Amino acid sequence: MAESQVNPDQYPCPICGKQSYQWGLSVGQSPNTRLYARADESGWGDGEKLYTRKCLVCSNVQFFTVRSI
C-alpha cells in the first residue's frame, strides 16, 4: 500500500490497542497559532499542518500531517 493511502483510523492506539479517537488540529499558545511539521532545509512558510488524534480510552495523543479521510 502506498504511504499516502494509509488511513490512521484503521490502526489501533499503540498504547491501549483501542480505536476510539477524537481528531483535531494542533494549536500553539493562542487559537490562531498552528503547529506545522517542516523539513530542516525548508523555508519559513513551508510545512504541513499537524493534526492530532487523541485516544478516548487512554488519552494518548499522536500527530499526523494528513488527516484521515
pLDDT over 60 (residue 4): no
What distances in angstroms separate CA 38 from CA 6, 41, 59, 67, one per listed residue?
20, 8, 26, 16
* pLDDT tens digit sequence for 9-68: 889 999 999 999 999 988 888 878 888 888 888 877 778 888 999 999 999 999 998 765
Amino acid (one-letter) located at 7: N
Which residue carries 499558545 as its cell? 29
Q: Where are the domains of the chain?
A: 3-37+45-64
* pLDDT tens digit sequence for 22-32: 999 888 888 78
Span 3-37+45-64: which CATH code? 2.20.25
Q: How far apart are CA 56 and CA 44, in angstroms?
A: 34
pTM of whole model > 0.85? no
